[in-house]
Structure 1
């Protein structure tokens, strides 16, 4: 008798075959005297569609809702039916007495296998489970000696089916109900809709945020040739609304020496980071390389399946089990290639310390953290993307075995006359784990109370308060993973703490799904809701289906699904709750009596037509006077304005005679600009403020104007052409990137079209950055320092 092994993919099937011996390739399967190995193609079975239960349900009508099957049924997928038939014949072979589930070791892999067996009765054959955490030959061979009985995973199977059926009930019924009620195809789901709501809620915060201008006075001090900066402080306040206050202080302290009034020193110890789970890997890849969550998952899956370089990537654990303690030294010893070999040797020399931040049996779920496998035979010919993700994983793995890093934090108060400036300085005195990331020990000066320091420079910085940042893949993954902050119940928080909204394996798909259905768009790294996405969330709020908006819904399901997996919750009780929820959603849609429309929002007028006095209403493409249909008026504000969308709130402001500020408008010449818009002669027009006349404050010319050839002089707030602003538009702002641009820098810029590298720019978030100023086509731009990629060659050293 033989054993049939069913893998999730053909590549995995062939890897298993290589580990188990020689096999004859029968095209649709592999066979030898002991085993038959075949494969699925992911999910090759699916739940019935509503029309499979009853043909009349192919037509979407409200009266047929809710659709709740008495018994859920499955069918083979049309496009993979041939593959299903191959497995069916193999399962039914009389010479096969054992079937091994070798699909991915997790909820989805369990579901894929069990769906097949629902449609093909194995008729009393022995069912076993292969549970792999890496695809190396050694791991496969070891785990085949420890096959587990499939019945051990019955509860996991129950939870898998419950999750799939719950998604079907809520998704099918909510989508059909909202679509038929409002006449536009609206996709809703238990995970994607609360995720969209998180993005929309942030967008509302941003739009309602009122930015306020403030000023800071920054001084540059010289302590024995060590330059440090300090910010003026009075009554514990460093931000001032009136520039004049700081101008007076600047005049008083200019040219004076300072004295160090107080010194406070602390050493901060920072532990190495935890190992990667999938979500943390996706976050870092997005921050470092701008990769989307899905792109990172695809690359990691390739490094796992094809390259055999890393362990199972779809994990939500950041720890290792104690059973790996004997295996870890072997992995470290196998790291004999640049640039990681030096770190591996150092770890072995100082000794491997298995702390609780590395080994934690309670912190391991279906799989442990993502680490290298120790089999580095497939390092050659990695793609650039694979190199980047592998570099993140192997550096994180090595870093956890290093000691804490130590940072000396020095807080200073420097007194000039009777004015105080505060400084916070950080010096890395023991790199520890940061050595793996190229950090080195930093020297630091000694500060003593009453030391005299020179005041080298003073500048007033003009800043604005900033709204919350829009989500990126990285920050949205965090919001999805830590959705407990949106929930009050402690038990639900714990469930969300472990799983969050979605799972590590599905979060990337959720983000891509929101983009696919037109609710979200990716602009660079940013994820922004579209007008349609904003309207959908507003509609669901109007209908009062809070269950589709709140992460609490996912938290409740995940909590109960986890208990089902552990055999502590009844699956029938869970499904009864889901059916009740489905009925409730449909009832709320059917009984909604408001007049909200998905394309135009509320039917309330936006404002009064400035041309004829009629009411202006929102339409799918704009904001139109009610008299346009009568032919007596032609007033309209179109929603589309270059690359921007005029929202209902913006239209209301315009109709009230106000200006609306827009940022990053894309010109016809493919350049971005900021401007205000206003109704001028009943049409939306860009309003550009005419620059005010400024007097020359220094009669020494700085260079030649690149636009008209005249001389450039220093003026009150700009360095500008002598003909500015009447006859020439060339100017350079005196303050750029949070610092004052110096005369010598302007001279070099005008002469060479590029400054030296400037290292003390400050971003809007208050972080320092380095850049050059370059002159291109009469405009001044930042050019960032070219950071050469770290050496990621994987050449083995010749022994």
Structure 2
């Protein structure tokens, strides 16, 4: 008899097969040593569209809403029918007596397997492989200690509720608002509140009125500069400046010295890694997820889609041994960490480890050729190594000095910091120097013995208050993670919008659908709502764009995952909200003008306007076949995406220069993409290589 192993991806299946001894390649699976090892390709089985329930749903009509299936139906994805057929045949083979769900160890991995298992009509016993590392030893250990599938029933229920809630909100809200405003509008349970955050932020920036303020700075003979408090009126500040220049002496009022410390940052979960990679390297959340997923599959890091920054007691010894071996990386020495015993206890908290512990480098990484990795993976791995060492280092200790002086009846202050023990900052300093080519400097105040200091110079400085910052992906991820935290009961976990595993995809969908756009330099891009995104939020009712409601749903999904809430209760709430939305929502007055498609450029084929829609940039001339598809095969082959910036350049100049395109062999090169048209009006692309290559 044989045991069937079902992985989520082919690359992961190959790793399992190698360990299990299934070395004979077949069509869509591997076989050997009593095992059959096959794989899914993402979601092989998906929820059926509305027209499968009733043919009338082909046409979008408010009269047919809400669409709330009583019995859910599923279909095999058209692009993956072959692999589903292979799995179905393997599951029902007479010699297969049991199956191991070896899909990713998380909510979506559980859903992917179970939908295939059910659609295949399989009834054979199932056990669960649950891994946090793809190292061979971890795989062997996992297969030696398989768990009953029933232990993950609650996880599956949460995944089902998430999938079905998203379907109901997306289908009903998208159809409702598309019909109300006469054009296709994509509305999502998570996507719309995130878009609303950016629109509200931009409105606050636009409404912000900067206010000027003034300070008087005194350059003292002691070697430091003391500043007054902010003064709103320029005339008052000028009078103070005159008085100080007249006296030219400052009296030392007090010197306060206080020893302070900063504990090391925790280990990385996915969101904090994505935030740091965006802030320090300019990587998008999706890029970072792709890099760390690849590192995981190469056995160089542990499971990436984790929401925990801690490890369990069982992992402490492993971490202590690992950190000793990691010091050679990034030139971290015992001097940098003050020869201290690693503080691994600070990283241990069993209660805060859910499905997986924090992201860590693996022992396999120590023997790997890291120079052979793509640059993005190298950089993300450096961050993970550095954070691991930082988390177990000593606190950063410093002496903070506050010098308070008086001149012309006003107080002036100067602050300084003096490092006492660099601790974890030594690691941070080296990482910043390596990645950003800059160092962090601290300013220490000189010792002041006299009661008075002479004033070498006094000058007036003008400043102004600053508006809220535009959202970078770092800041938006933080906003998503902490959304509704103030309004949720104390102790409730995962109050935020989405999960660590889905937040990157949410941002990408908003960009791809033309609701958000990235602007700025390579390392400091901001996310701005487009006119289309602003218009959508303008017409959305509060319950659809509310971060509180969406975060509340996410908290309830976590309760279902922990068997603390019945799935039926959650689904009833969703259905009631959707029914209320359909019956109470009317078109906002004057909104049709807001929702009108914005002209994006001129069609190179017929000269008519080109407008942006959900799937691409279309010529408004119905007789013309010109379109730039967002999901563009030509750009995918280059490892690039056809976004609004690229589309704008192509329509305006007929060409766009791209850096770091990828060849079929994985090498990078720079090239210019030229836009042309076929005789029938369809778009076509060609490449112009640099240097005549």
What TM-score does the superposition give when structure 2 sets the normalisation length? 0.81
CA change 1:443–1:11 in 2 (3 A) is: same
Q: Secondary structure at the match of 2:593?
A: coil
| Deviation per residue, 1:258-282 (Å, 9 max, x gap) | 3322111111111000111010011
- 1:370 match: 359
Q: CA deviation at 1:61?
A: 1.0
Q: How does 1:624-663 map to 2 (within 5 A)?
A: none
Q: Separation in 1 of the partners of 2:357 and 2:62?
A: 46
Moved more, 320-329 or 6-15: 320-329
CA distance in 1, matches of 2:206, 2:383: 36
Map 1:287-298 → 2, pairs under 5 A: 287-298=279-290
Q: Is the 8 A contact 2:336 2:422 kept in 1?
A: no
- Residue 349 of structure 1 and its aligned partner are, at CA, apart by 5.2
Does the CA-based 8 Å contact 1:431-1:441 persist in structure 2?
no
Q: Report deviation, 1:47.
A: 0.3
**3-state SS of the aligned residue for 1:13?**
helix
Task: Write out aligned runs for 1:271-286 (5 A).
Answer: 271-286=263-278
Alignment of 1:525-674 (within 5 A): 525-540=525-540, 545-589=541-585, 592=586, 594-600=588-594
Gaps of 5+ in 1: 233-237, 602-618, 623-665, 671-799
Aligned with 2:13: secondary structure?
helix
1:597-631 Cα deviation digits (max 9, x unpaired): 24337xxxxxxxxxxxxxxxxx7669xxxxxxxxx
Determine if contact 1:10/1:39 at 8 Å carries over to the other structure.
yes
Q: Structure 1 residues 229, 451: closer, same or farther in 2, change over 3 A?
A: same
RMSD (Å), alpha carbons: 2.3
1:406-450 deviations in whole A, cap 9, x for unaligned? 121111112335443111212222111111123799795564464
Evaluate the alpha carbon distance shift between residue 392 and residue 122 of structure 1 in structure 2; reply closer, same or farther with a 3 A threshold: same
User: 1:332–1:374: 8 Å Cα contact kept in structure 2?
Assistant: no
Contact 1:134 1:304 in 2 (8 A): yes
- Deviation sequence 1:468-523 (CA, Å, 0-9, x none): 111110111111100124x53416xx44x425100001001111111111111111
> In 1, distance between residues paired with 2:584 and 2:96?
53
Aligned counterparts of 2:311 and 2:404: Cα–Cα separation in 1? 46
How many angstroms apart in 1 are the aligned matches of 2:15 and 2:154? 28
Shift in Å at residue 337 of structure 1?
3.9
State the distance in 2 between where 1:530 and 1:552 align. 23
C-alpha deviation, 1:351, in angstroms? 2.3
Correspondence for 1:261: 253
What residue is the counterpart of 2:374 in the other structure? 383
Match of 1:174? 173
Q: CA-to-partner distance for each residue in 1:559-608, whole Å, 9 max, x for gaps?
A: 2222221222211222122111111111123xx2652324337xxxxxxx
**How far apart, in 2, do the equivalents of 1:346 and 1:597 lie?**
60
Distance (Å, rounded) in 2 between the aligned partners of 1:350 and 1:460 = 47
* Residue 608 of structure 2: aligned partner: none
2:340 to 350, 357, 364: 350
Matches within 5 A, 1:663-742: none
Give yes or no for contact 1:99–1:127 (8 Å, CA) kept in 2: yes
Counterpart for residue 627 of structure 1: none
Instruction: Look up the match of 1:84.
Output: 84
**Contact 1:535–1:598 under 8 Å retained in 2:** no
Residue 402 of structure 1: how far off its partner (Å): 1.2
- Cα distance in structure 2, aligned partners of 1:145 and 1:582: 46
Q: How far apart, CA to CA, are the structure 1 residues paired with 2:35 and 2:151?
A: 23
Separation of aligned partners in 1, 2:305 and 2:292: 9
Alignment of 1:87-486 (within 5 A): 87-123=87-123, 125-223=124-222, 227-232=223-228, 238-254=229-245, 256-306=248-298, 308-335=299-326, 337-340=328-331, 342-343=333-334, 350-355=340-345, 357-376=346-365, 377-378=367-368, 379-438=370-429, 444=444, 447-448=447-448, 450-485=450-485
Q: Name the SS for the 1:254 alignment partner.
A: helix
Contact 1:3 1:100 in 2 (8 A): yes
Aligned mates of 2:74, 2:24 — CA distance in 1: 33
Three-state SS of the structure 1 residue aligned to 2:302 is coil
Q: Secondary structure at the match of 2:5?
A: strand
Distance 2:294 2:587 in 1: 51
Contact persistence 1:532–1:598 (CA under 8 A): no
1:414 partner SS: strand
User: Which is helix-richer, 1 or 2?
Assistant: 2
- Secondary structure at 1:490's aligned position in 2? coil
- How many corresponding residue pairs? 585
Residues of 1 paired with 2:10 and 2:530: CA distance? 39
The whole-number CA distance in structure 2 between the counterparts of 1:424 and 1:598 is 56
Other-structure match for 1:49: 49
Whole-angstrom CA distance in 2 between matches of 1:170 and 1:571: 17
Secondary structure at 1:52's aligned position in 2? helix
**In the TM superposition, what whole-angstrom CA distance separates every residue of 1:184-240 from its partner, at most 9, and x where no partner exists?**
2111111011111111111111111111122222222231xxx322112xxxxx222
| Mapped partners of 1:620, 1:122: distance in 2 | 49
CA distance in 2, matches of 1:598, 1:240: 47
**SS of 2:364 mapped into structure 1:** coil
Larger relative contact order (CA 8 Å, sep ≥ 6) = 2
Look up the SS of the partner of 2:583 in the other structure. Answer: helix
- Which deviates more from structure 2 when the two are superposed, residues 454-463 or residues 287-296? 454-463
Q: 1:537 to 1:375 in 2, by over 3 A?
A: same
Paired with 2:260 and 2:327, the residues of 1 have a C-alpha distance of 33
SS of 2:215's equivalent?
A: strand
8 A contact 1:5–1:102 mirrored in 2: yes
- The separation in 2 between residues aligned to 1:292 and 1:203, in whole angstroms, is 20
Take 1:417 and 1:588, find their aligned partners in 2: how far apart are those partners?
A: 66
The 8 Å contact of residues 337 and 423 in structure 2, kept in 1 or not, is answered as no
Alpha-carbon distance in structure 1 between the residues aligned to 2:311 and 2:288: 22
For residues 413 and 333 of structure 1, do their structure 2 counterparts lie closer, same or farther at Cα, with a shift above 3 Å needed? closer
318 and 257 in structure 1: CA distance in 2 versus 1, 3 angstrom threshold: same
**Contact 2:494/2:554 (8 A) holds in 1:** no
* Distance change (3 Å), C-alpha of 1:211 and 1:595: same
Query: Is the contact between residue 22 and residue 36 of structure 2 (CA under 8 Å) also seen in structure 1?
Result: no
What secondary structure, in the 3-state scheme, does the structure 1 residue paired with 2:274 have?
A: helix
- Alpha carbons of structure 1 residues 564 and 519: separation in structure 2 relative to 1, 3 Å: same
User: Who is 1:33 aligned against?
Assistant: 33
SS at match of 2:172: helix
1:694-739 per-residue CA deviation (whole Å, 9 max, x = no partner) reads xxxxxxxxxxxxxxxxxxxxxxxxxxxxxxxxxxxxxxxxxxxxxx
Question: For the Cα contact (< 8 Å) 1:133–1:367, is it kept in 2?
Answer: yes
What residue in structure 2 maps to residue 516 of structure 1? Answer: 512
SS in 2 for 1:101: strand
Query: Normalising to structure 1: TM-score of the pair?
Result: 0.70
Query: SS at the partner of 2:383?
Result: helix
Preserved contact between residue 316 and residue 499 of structure 1 (Cα < 8 Å): no
| Distance in 1, Cα, partners of 2:472 & 2:185 | 24
Secondary structure of the residue that 1:93 maps to in structure 2? Answer: coil
Check conservation: 1:24, 1:32, Cα contact below 8 A. Answer: yes
Name the larger-Rg structure.
1
Secondary structure at 1:498's aligned position in 2? coil
Contact 2:400/2:418 (8 A) holds in 1: yes
Question: Matched residues in 1 for 2:289 and 2:154: separation?
Answer: 27
CA distance in 2, matches of 1:348, 1:262: 33
